[in-house]
Amino acid sequence: MDFQAARRKMVDNQIRTTDVTSHTVLSAFLSVPREAFVPAKFRELAYIDTDVALETEDGSPTGRYLMEPSPLAKLLQLAAITKEDSVLEIGCGTGYVSAILSQLAGKVVALESDKSLAAQASAALEAQGCRNVTVVNGDLEKGHAADAPYDVIFINGAVEVIPEAIFAQLRNGGRLVGVVGFGNASQARLYIHENSNTSERLAFNTSVRPLPGFRLAREFVF
């Protein structure tokens, strides 16, 4: 299979056609080999217009997915990342988004709760020469305060709620991009953190796979 041609078709037919115009975002998608971040048996499906299931190193399902290219590109464009930015990615999976972020940002911390996925991400990112990415294994809902504050936090999957502890890891003027809600009712949102206050903007409707956790506390009702 000609992966380079498939990558070009993905950008031209799936990403450009959904109002992604950022040159840096388009260039990053063109340069990062998506097939290097999916299970070997799914490599010929790496560029289809849907999510791709991720597995542990021994082939067991993880319940996690590589996000569909179109909403991913739109979310990254919304983040408006520059080479001066330090980025925290929450839920890096096998590292594909981390590799794209490495092209856009100056420094990337890629947080992953699944040890097998974190190990795969580290190996794949090293093979791709992504030297400005550090993979960290830890609880996604806690973020990674050790390297805070961040200019940008990118949540790689849908969530029901974003904990205050994660907003607290943004630099003054920092941005958080994520999808809130599940299924067809979910929305891409941009948050800007300034002077201890966080403003919110609804960007577009979308539907992406959820990250584990990030659920609202359920109250007991008599």
pLDDT in tens, 7-34: 999 999 999 999 999 999 999 999 999 9
Residue 64 has phi, psi (to 5 degrees) of: -115, 160
Closest CA to 181 of 216, 154, 152: 216
pLDDT value for 27: 98
pLDDT in tens, 44-85: 999 999 999 999 999 999 999 999 999 999 999 999 999 999
pLDDT value for 128: 98
Does a structural domain hold residue 124?
Answer: yes
Q: How many domains does the chain have?
A: 1
pLDDT in tens, 64-75: 999 999 999 999
- pLDDT of 91 strictly over 90: yes
pLDDT value for 218: 64
Widest distance between CA atoms in the chain: 60
Does a structural domain hold residue 200?
Answer: yes
Does a structural domain hold residue 218?
Answer: no
% of the chain residues with pLDDT over 90: 93
pLDDT value for 185: 82
pLDDT value for 168: 95
pLDDT value for 219: 59
pLDDT value for 184: 83
Helix 96-104 to helix 115-127 angle (10° resolution) is 50
Give the CATH number for residue 181.
3.40.50.150
Mean pLDDT rounded to a whole number for the chain: 95
Does a structural domain hold residue 214?
Answer: no
Residue 143 near residue 169 (C-beta atoms within 8 A): yes
pLDDT in tens, 154-203: 999 999 999 999 999 999 999 999 999 998 889 999 999 998 889 999 99
Q: What is the residue range of 78's domain? A: 3-205
Helices and strands, number each (H, E), in the chain:
6, 9
pLDDT value for 206: 95
Does a structural domain hold residue 213?
Answer: no
pLDDT value for 196: 82
Instruction: Give dist(CA 154, CA 206) in Å, integer.
Output: 16
Does a structural domain hold residue 149?
Answer: yes
Does a structural domain hold residue 216?
Answer: no
Does a structural domain hold residue 158?
Answer: yes
pLDDT value for 143: 98
Instruction: Give dist(CA 199, CA 107) in Å, integer.
Output: 25
Average pLDDT over residues 87-116: 98
